[in-house]
Amino acid sequence: MSVAPKQVGDYLAICQLRSKYSRLIDNEHWEEFAELFTEDTTVVYPRDTLDNRQGVYEYVRDRVEYEYSMHTVQMPEIEINGNSATGKWYMLVFYIAPDHSQGYVMGSYEDEYRRMDGEWKIDQMVANVAHDTGGYHTQW
């Protein structure tokens, strides 16, 4: 994979989008978080599939709760094709759950992005949880 010089701005914008996802979920800013997705997004979490932006918002607002969390993403593989792109990322999440149990998650994200009105959005996302030491993410 290589990024053409004219695609560097898009590559960086997609990296920032993915970073924002992590920061907003950690800070529980659910309305801003939902705005990262297209209106007709599809999001697949380990136990649920969400079919639109409103569904994403309601899901995180009602079900995602941490005492503390730090979502990180690493090693992006991004392919850009005009106004669409795909991305694969490793994820590592450290967390303290509301019951004060602690753990970390190892896994990956597989994304499809769409540029809308000059801004990149997550169009489809699959969150793959390979290992959760505390089991918290398997409860959702």
pLDDT tens digit string along 16-26?
999 999 999 99
Tokens coding 97: 């759950």
Q: Domain 5-138 falls in which CATH fold? A: Nuclear Transport Factor 2; Chain: A, (3.10.450)
Whether 140 has a pLDDT exceeding 60, the answer reads no
Angle at 99 between CA 94 and CA 100, to 5 degrees: 50
d(CA 128, CA 91): 9
Q: Please report, as a single letter, which amino acid is at residue 2.
A: S
> What's the pLDDT tens digit per position in 81-138?
999 999 999 999 999 999 999 999 999 999 999 999 999 999 999 999 999 998 877 6
Statement: residue 8 has pLDDT above 90 = yes
Whether 108 and 128 have beta carbons less than 8 Å apart is answered as: yes
Residue 56 burial by CB count (10 A; 0-12/13-18/19+): exposed, middle or buried?
Answer: buried
Residue 128 has a pLDDT of 95
Which position has the higher pLDDT, 130 or 5? Answer: 130
> Rounded CA gap, 68 and 84, in Å?
34
